Amino acid sequence: MKTVNYTSLFCLALLLMSGSLTQAQEKFFRAIGTPHEPEVEASWNRYNTYAGIVDLMEKIADAYPKLSRLESIGKSYQGKDIYMLTISDFNTGNPDEKPAMYIDGNIHSNEIQGAEFSLYTAWYLTEMFGELDFINQLLKDKTFYIVPTINPDARDNYMKEPNTPHSPRSGMIVLDNDGDGEAGEDGFNDLNDDNHITYMIRKSPTGQYIKDPQDERRLIRVSMEEQGNYELLGYEGIDTDRDGEVNEDGIGYYDPNRDWGWKWQPDYVQRGAYKYPFSLPESRAVADFVIKHPNIAGAQSYHNYGGMILRGPGAEEDVDTYNREDIRIYDAIAEKGEEMIPGYRYLTVYKDLYSVFGGELDWFYGGRGIYTYTNELMVSYLYFHKNEGRGNQEEELKVDKYLTFGDAFVDWEEYKHPQYGTIEVGGFKKNFGRAHPGFLLEQDAHRNMAFTIYHAYQTPKLSILDVEEKSIGGGLKEITATIYNERLMPTHSSQDLKYNIERPDLVSISNVDVVTGMIVEDEDFNKVKEQVHNPETLRVPSIPGMGTVKVRWIVSGKGNYTINVDSEKGGKVSWRE
């Protein structure tokens, strides 16, 4: 029988590991602000299908069980799990009792990069924990709830099925759009089998377009007095149901961002609304989660396109909802965001874009009192650092020529169409324009993540700053405690206070007999507001951002007392004598 020398094998293993580490150190030099040797290897210059998103989320949860928790918050229309990662330092308290930041993306199926930006945030926070004191303290104090895609069905449809850059806008409920009694029978047809729905053109003596002699990719519209040699037939497709129209009956148009229960309007008022508020399972799942987690103080939703940091209101009719005190906080955070994300502008939805009724952004703030932004990701400024504007064909053709080397455009190709005869098919691919090219994806993900971290940092952070005792005779003493909020956000937004959405903050004293309790409204003039019932636990309406609240008790007894602060959005802190 052969004797195995386990000590030798162990030493050999150590030597091999040491050699591997030495080789890694020889091959890589750390870049500032980026995980150096990540536990979860991830590439941030490409997009993930739903399966890819779930795989990355599972890997993060497996690699960092003390920092991350993976769960499903509900099911999509087609039955896919809507997965969420909770990111926090679990060793420093219950994550559901810390001030929290909620982040989601991809509410619209073709606005895909929000999922990558959300995932990047979860990955970065877990990988940099232990490396940076700031991240260590952030996850000690705060919780991040991250849902990369809240529209997983349509995300996969956009990626895996032929689509334009703008389709499908909604989820996967199929409707009879053309009113012929059949649903979805005349959707897109990918004539050249390249998974992109581009354009069809046909030679015609009465056409309104010509191909640019300098660049055949480009169609030029001629003037009314001139005559071109091509007519534009629209997106590629076939009239499958023989009703004289092409592509008119695909995935039904409804808009998941018109489904939320704040100032909702039906479809005949607000195009895209479905049956009633929260009639879609995806938005219902998010709303249920948020309502059950009153610790959420800030929120971020990622859309595209336009390089915008947006706040509500979505409609001018709702302008009174956003009062001056809360707008000051919105302004302070978003103006810092403009510095952090070059090319992005801080705007108001209804004023600078268009009216939105029943939007997610407004429900989070109007219905829950949560300071919330929507970032419209990707802007043409990122290409050449010029503000050319979306849809500028000259710039897009330059990008395709000089930066993506022809990868963004499908060259015109002849095709025998069953209805139109000989045509040509070509144009920009579906994943160009609205979506970042790979080489721009990671930089913009990092900058937008940094903005959401700044937002999360400004959620309330409470401390008991000072406790004073004063004997007032008769065996009684007066105890005054100062509660300090170190951050910009109050523990209750003005909207929260207006509708009593969350309970007041609770400041309590224990291990003494309380005669009376009060909130100190003006210490200089000894103006107080007494709480007659249950004076041991004072109900404080809100603790202002960068401000203090003083509470006072008249007590008897000689025990060592404890003061506790319990705030839904500010967390819990204690002070012991």
pLDDT over threshold 50, residue 272:
yes
pLDDT over threshold 70, residue 180:
no
Identify the CA nearest to 285 among candidates 170, 147, 99, 154: 147
Which of 20-34, 43-57, 102-116, 319-333 comes out lowest in average pLDDT?
20-34
Task: Give the tens place of pLDDT for each residue, 493-510.
Answer: 999 999 999 999 999 999
How high is the pLDDT of residue 78? 93
pLDDT over threshold 50, residue 183:
no
CA-CA-CA-CA torsion sign (458, 461, 465, 467): positive
How high is the pLDDT of residue 244? 78
The CATH homologous superfamily to which domain 50-157+257-380+437-457 belongs is Zn peptidases (3.40.630.10)
Q: What whole-number percentage of the chain has pLDDT above 70? A: 91
Task: Give the tens place of pLDDT for each residue, 209-244.
Answer: 999 999 999 999 998 788 889 999 999 999 887 877
pLDDT over threshold 60, residue 11:
no
How high is the pLDDT of residue 201? 96
Distance CA 446, CA 431 (A): 21
Q: What is the DSSP string of 222-252?
A: PPTTS-EEEEEEEES---TT-SS-SS-BSB-
Distance CA 373, CA 364 (A): 9
The band of 179, judged by pLDDT with boundaries at 50, 70 and 90, is low
Task: Give the tens place of pLDDT for each residue, 76-109.
Answer: 999 999 999 999 999 999 999 999 999 999 999 8
How high is the pLDDT of residue 1? 45
Within the chain, how many helices (H) and strands (E) appear? 14, 23
Distance CA 202, CA 214 (A): 20
Contact between 183 and 209 under an 8 Å Cβ cutoff? The reply is no
How high is the pLDDT of residue 13? 52
Q: E strand or H helix at 576, and its extent?
A: strand 571-576
Mean pLDDT of 287-293: 98
Mean pLDDT of 323-331: 97
Task: Give the tens place of pLDDT for each residue, 364-404.
Answer: 999 999 999 999 999 999 999 987 766 688 999 999 999 99
How high is the pLDDT of residue 150? 96
- 67 vs 241, higher pLDDT: 67
Mean pLDDT of 97-125: 97
Contacts of residue 473, Cβ cutoff 8 Å, sequence gap at least 6: none
**In terms of residues, how long is the chain?**
577
How high is the pLDDT of residue 247? 78
Q: Where are the domains of the chain?
A: 50-157+257-380+437-457, 174-250+392-428, 462-576
Contact between 280 and 259 under an 8 Å Cβ cutoff? The reply is yes
Q: How many CB atoms lie within 10 A of CB 160?
A: 11
DSSP assignment letter at 11? H
pLDDT over threshold 80, residue 6:
no
How high is the pLDDT of residue 522? 93
pLDDT over threshold 90, residue 557:
no
pLDDT over threshold 60, residue 182:
no
Distance CA 177, CA 157 (A): 18
Which residue reads 């050699």 in tokens? 19
Q: What whole-number percentage of the chain has pLDDT above 90? A: 82
Amino acid at 35: P
How high is the pLDDT of residue 7? 58
Residue 487 half-sphere exposure toward CB, CA atoms < 13 A: 24
Residue 238 half-sphere exposure toward CB, CA atoms < 13 A: 13
Identify the CA nearest to 287 among candidates 261, 268, 269: 261
β partners of residue 480? 468, 552
The mean pLDDT value of the chain amounts to: 92
Task: Give the tens place of pLDDT for each residue, 419-475.
Answer: 999 999 999 999 999 999 999 999 999 999 999 999 999 999 999 999 999 999 999
Which of 30-39, 56-65, 66-75, 288-297 comes out lowest in average pLDDT?
30-39
Mean pLDDT of 136-163: 95
Q: Which CATH class is domain 462-576?
A: mainly beta
Q: Judging by beta carbons within 10 Å of its beta carbon (0-12, 13-18, 19+), is residue 324 exposed, middle or buried? A: exposed
Mean pLDDT of 510-530: 95
